[in-house]
Amino acid sequence: MENGLGPRDLISIATVARAHGIKGSVRVQCDPSHVDFFRTLPAVSIGGKAHRITQVRGTDDAPIIDFEGIESRNDSESIRGLTIDIAREDLPEREEDEFLVAELQGCDVRDLAGKSIGTVVKVRILPANDVLDVLLHDGGEVLVPFIKLAVPVVDAEARVLTVDPEFLGIVQ
């Protein structure tokens, strides 16, 4: 990657939703709590390339961001749909039981006995609760509501989630 970071060193915090205007600005889709990253970090990775942030405006629910090197509508259209990543080391300090929803992507999913059953491939931010897309080792895919009843244990540091298979209807 051009930014010198490997995929395991990066964490996705947003997606380029669409172009905004004719000067290269983009609307991004992200958890409103992630907008502060754009205000505090000098640069992010988009499609594996480092881009310096030059301006953040809009609201936390609909941020509009300008990046150095993205200076026309064509430029902004060319990055539409790409993820915006930051280095894990740039994440802010958190309490012991605190984690970012974006940190869940790529986590190993285990049943209550500790057996690995799949991997979180995506986190959907929805109004009622977040939902985890889990790719099962048998090739199936399930949507897991990210609530305590379904996911009783989250170990963000070890990158492991414990999921109650009965709650999900997974026969063991």
Confidence at 3, pLDDT banded by 50, 70, 90: very low
The set of long-range contacts for 1-8, using a CB threshold of 8 Å and a minimum separation of 24, is 1/45, 1/48, 1/49, 2/48, 2/49, 2/50, 3/45, 3/48, 3/49, 3/50, 5/45, 5/87, 8/106
CB neighbours of 72 closer than 8 A, spacing ≥ 6?
22, 23, 24
Instruction: Please check whether the two domains, 7-89 and 101-168, share a CATH topology.
Output: no
45's enclosing H/E stretch is: strand 43-46
Mean pLDDT of the chain: 87
31's enclosing H/E stretch is: none
User: What residues does each domain of the chain span?
Assistant: 7-89, 101-168
* Residue 99, pLDDT score: 74
Q: Is the pLDDT of residue 142 over 80?
A: yes
* Residue 7, pLDDT score: 52
Looking at 53-171, list the stretches that DSSP marks H as alpha helix, in order from N- to C-terminal side. 73-78, 165-168
* Domain covering 7-89 assigned CATH 2.40.30.60 in the classification: yes
Mean pLDDT for the stretch of residues 128-144: 90
Q: What is the pLDDT of residues 13-54, one digit of tens each?
A: 889 999 999 999 999 998 887 888 899 888 899 988 999 999
Mean pLDDT for the stretch of residues 141-153: 92
Q: Is the pLDDT of residue 80 over 50?
A: yes
* Residue 129: CA count within 13 A, CB half-sphere: 11
Q: Is the pLDDT of residue 65 over 90?
A: yes
What's the CA gap between 24 and 163, in Å, rounded? 42
Number of H helices and number of E strands within the chain?
3, 12
CA-based radius of gyration for the chain: 17
- Among 4-8, 43-47, 86-90, 95-99, the least confident range: 4-8
List 65's β-bridge partners, or say none.
Answer: 26, 56
CATH superfamily, region 101-168: PRC-barrel domain (2.30.30.240)
